[in-house]
Amino acid sequence: MPPDQRVGAGGTAIVEQVEEEDRPLAVAYAHLRAVDACGLLYDEPAMAKAFPGSRTELVLPATALGTCRAVVAVGEGAGELKYEVQLTLAANAANGRARGAPEQVAGRTALVAKDTKCSFYLDVDEELGLPESSRGLVTPLVEFGMHGGGTPGVDLCGAGRSYLESTAALWSDLPVAGEGRSSPELALATLDPCVPASALLDSPGARIDKPLGTNTCVVEVGRGGGQRIEVSFLIGGDPVGNRPDNAEVVVMGGRDVVKEKLATGCRNEFAWQAGLPLVNESSELVLRYLQLQTVQVKSLSCSGLDESTGKVLAAMGEEPPPAKRVATAPVVLGAHPVPPDAAAVGAPFDPCALGWAAFPEQVRHPRDVVPTLRLPDEGFATSCVYTNHNEGKGSGLFTAEVFWAAPDGFALSRTAPDRTTKVQVAGREAHRVAMNPREGTACAVLVRLERGVAGVQVRQGRFDVDVCQVATTVAEAAVRAAA
């Protein structure tokens, strides 16, 4: 792709609004923002060569957009080791010059630094077609280390050299976001955060400050730069469901916004491109599986932050439709192996297609947030998670998992007798299973179908409802769909 076409929507105009001395850096960020981070980082054969016997568990941006990390595991049980490979598209090149020693890697000069990780700073200024004034400022950084601690079973720098040599073709022809190498496409990954942040320039003396990265824009507002406001594009758990106890949820522009007072300052955050089908199976908390793109507006001063957030939200424009994961893409984001859908396993009904209409009205999500596939538990073939942390009177969460097991995958007789009540659901044999979560209430209903078993598990502490009745209502819808 020609260099002048790499800059994302609105990027060129925004660069012109940056202070002249900072424009070279803004230009470099704009070009790197157009690169598909996970498409550049991950290659399955290269990973298997660098870490023999490995199996990939996760490929996801690492908190901030403009990054990607892959987690792979080697071995089993107590002898299992997990490695993490992380790419930051726009690291400070000066850090690389200070830390690293030059060597030839993947046909180019890399600066290599080793501590607990092995880090490679790779110069791609030529491949990006950067003007001379923008070269040598920021550079991709690839780090090879352990995930969750432990002593590596391989030489991390050796594994890194092997991996980068195997992916040399990608570094010579950088994959462009939106061209299909990775899926699903992340709407915020290529958008310059200064585009919506520029809505704050309507006050006297306001200006865009020095860029902080591909995913963060800083605007100084008020006379003399009295307040610095950061607008960042992130990725992580649902901000509403995962909000801290001291945060509140308010509605701005028809959207749920989490407001949190920090030790110094305040932050507001809202999700974007709802229903993104990404799952982080490395989380041990069942309610933190879903990964969403978010917009965070933050300042050391709380004064006027809500008004600024409203302006940023309005400037974001129309929210894109939910992204669709293409399972045949070279790089599939989220948990690995990719969670199978109903069609892939020949299920008689699609747990994700039941939709919120299958739930009692009281717990339905007001905006029909798209449910998300996740890797099913042992014995089940396909599973889909519904979350609604936005409504209701309580401060807890609401999560429902709908799943299907093949005839030879799960038997009703496996449910614990002391917690099981035999019932009828839509005229079919069923088991209702009481559960004891750490917080809230939980109930599972499993129904024998003509072929296989349908199941619904509900965990919640948000609504004043009979949790087993909610599970039964959804199970009835599953029976109807299977028929």
The SS3 of residue 236 is strand
Topology of domain 194-315 in CATH is: Protein Transport Mog1p; Chain A (3.40.1000)
Per-residue pLDDT, averaged over 93-120, amounts to 94
Q: Is 55 exposed, middle or buried (0-12, 13-18, 19+ CB in 10 A)?
A: middle
Range in 15-19, 43-47, 89-93 with the lowest mean pLDDT: 15-19
Identify the CA nearest to 440 among candidates 389, 387, 398.
Answer: 398
Q: What local confidence, expressed as pLDDT, does residue 287 receive?
A: 39
**Tokens (6 digits) for 31:** 């070009």
Residue 237 has pLDDT above 60, yes or no: yes
Bigger pLDDT: 156 vs 413: 156
Percent of the chain with pLDDT over 90: 61
Bigger pLDDT: 469 vs 292: 469
d(CA 12, CA 27): 8
Per-residue pLDDT, averaged over 320-336, amounts to 83
DSSP letter, residue 290: B
Going by DSSP bridges, is the β-strand pair 182-183/248-252 parallel, antiparallel, or unpaired? Answer: unpaired
Confidence of residue 4 (pLDDT cuts 50, 70, 90): very low
Confidence of residue 8 (pLDDT cuts 50, 70, 90): very low
- The three state secondary structure string of 332-363 is ECEECCCCCCHHHHCCCCCCCCCCHHHCCHHH
Q: What local confidence, expressed as pLDDT, does residue 480 receive?
A: 97
Bigger pLDDT: 414 vs 423: 423
Confidence of residue 302 (pLDDT cuts 50, 70, 90): very high
**Tokens (6 digits) for 258:** 């989490």
Could you read off the pLDDT of 343-392 as tens digits, one per residue?
Answer: 999 999 999 999 999 999 999 987 777 788 887 887 899 999 898 876 65
Range in 177-191, 223-237, 381-395 with the lowest mean pLDDT: 381-395
Domain positions in the chain are 35-178, 194-315, 339-482
Range in 1-15, 97-111, 172-186, 465-479 with the lowest mean pLDDT: 1-15
Residue 298 has pLDDT above 70, yes or no: yes
Q: Please, which residues have CB within 8 angstroms of residue 383's CB and are 6 or more apart in sequence? A: 339, 351, 373, 374, 375, 376, 377, 401, 402, 403, 404
d(CA 204, CA 185): 37
Q: Which residues of 97-136 are buried (b: 16+ CB within 10 A; e: fewer)?
A: eeebeeeebbeeebbbbeeebbbbbbbbbebbebeeebbb
Predicted TM-score (pTM) of the model is 0.81
**Distance (Å) of CA 366 to CA 9, 275, 355, 388:** 31, 13, 12, 9
Per-residue pLDDT, averaged over 144-150, amounts to 91
DSSP string, 297-325: EEES--TTHHHHHHHHHHHT-SPPPPP--
Q: What local confidence, expressed as pLDDT, does residue 107 receive?
A: 86
Number of H helices, E strands in the chain: 12, 24
**Whether 483 contacts 476, CB under 8 Å:** no
Asked if domains 194-315 and 339-482 share a fold, the reply is no
Residue 467 has pLDDT above 90, yes or no: yes
- Please determine, looking at this structure, whether the domain spanning 339-482 carries the CATH number 2.60.40: no
Q: What local confidence, expressed as pLDDT, does residue 284 receive?
A: 42
Q: What local confidence, expressed as pLDDT, does residue 295 receive?
A: 96
Could you read off the pLDDT of 402-422 as tens digits, one per residue?
Answer: 999 999 888 887 788 888 999
Q: What local confidence, expressed as pLDDT, does residue 285 receive?
A: 42
